[in-house]
Amino acid sequence: MSTPIGPVDSSRVPRYSGRDGFARLPRLDQVDHADIVLAGVPFDTGVSFRPGTRFGPTHIRESSRLLRPYNPAMDASPFELVQVADAGDIPVNPFDIREAVDAVEDAAFGLTSDGTRLITLGGDHTIALPLLRAAARRHGPVALLHFDAHLDTWDTYFGAEYTHGTPFRRAFEEGILDTEALCHVGTRGPLYGKRDLEDDRRFGFGIVTSSDVFRQGVDEIIAKLRDRIGTRPVYISVDIDVLDPSHAPGTGTPEAGGITSRELLEILRGLRGLNIVAADVVEVSPAYDHADITGIAASHVAYDLVTLLALRRSEERAAEQA
């Protein structure tokens, strides 16, 4: 196995120059293989309020320039453990949601050949559906940890089945979720009615509200999530609006009373060792992002997801060689 090619050395090339990939990592076409790939999906045709997440992938990459190669929170240098590369953006049709959904599924499936793990930078939450489809084609029905202010299990908007508020209802209907291990984390805010919660429960979701995180504490929430997921293959979907608007103003549908960026990162770090097969970070809308607060938070979320996947792959490789 060749030595992984890491980010540009910031002691030699200033952070504001050099590669423009996530964390200034090499492009996918610059490496002979990749254990983890990051890809952007610049798509926001499925939004119901403020647009602009089509510019999210570029914004997250720009905000990631300050990331450093050693992650002290998990005592790991992910870019040394495995090869990580940036595949650029998946081109999608901004005028045809169904065509865009199909394109994302096909691209995600292609990028995950040979066991490669994919982290996707959005884009609005509509893209979670095709990404889950691709993951299920590789692994069968997957568990889901969904970090979000909203349930995203509604039926339709204006008669449209594919929007950023419907991906997990469609995923349930398509049988691509493991309904014994589904959970929302960080939900809050008003709903259309009590039936929203009843439908969500019927699909198999458990709910950890932002108030639960505040009152029960991060460690207890981590223990509950780990118990619910177990050893199942799990997809992690992070809508950045899970954070309070004070921590993530740059998003399309903000809700008061969210969790902090510290709480989100600590929960993610507590998932170390789980069988994470893919992940996304979505709903970053830079037009509303004062001082790049949201982009910085999203880049750190993606960085910790990379670290989790790198640690898992490194452990798997060590077991294979034992």
* CA dist., res. 215 & res. 224, Å (int): 14
Integer Cα distance of 282 and 237 in angstroms: 8
Check if the beta carbon of residue 182 is closer than 8 Å to that of residue 203. Answer: yes
Is residue 150 a known part of a binding site?
A: yes
How many residues appear in the chain? 322
Beta strands in the chain (DSSP E): 36-41, 84-89, 117-122, 142-147, 177-187, 205-209, 234-239, 276-282
Establish whether 102 is an annotated binding residue.
Answer: no
Residues contacting residue 39 through CB under 8 Å, at least 6 positions apart: 86, 87, 88, 89, 90, 107, 108, 111, 118, 119, 120, 121
| Rounded Cα distance, 234 and 309, in Å | 12
- For the record, the structure tokens of 140 come out as 């069968």
Per the annotation, does 164 bind a ligand? no
Q: Is residue 276 classed as helix, strand or coil in its secondary structure?
A: strand
Instruction: State the virtual CA torsion across 246, 252, 254, 258 in degrees, nearest 10.
Output: -70
Backbone phi, then psi, for 187, in 5-degree steps? -70, 155
148 is in an annotated binding site: yes
Q: Judge whether 124 is annotated as a binding position.
A: no
Q: Is 65:14 a contact under the CB 8 Å cutoff?
A: no
Q: Would you give the distance in Å from CA 141 to the centre of its chain?
A: 18
d(CA 65, CA 63): 6
59 is in an annotated binding site: no
Supply φ then ψ for residue 179, to 5 degrees: -70, 0
Instruction: Give binding residues as ranges.
Output: 125, 148, 150, 152, 239, 241
Instruction: Give binding residues for Mn(2+) as ranges.
Output: 125, 148, 150, 152, 239, 241
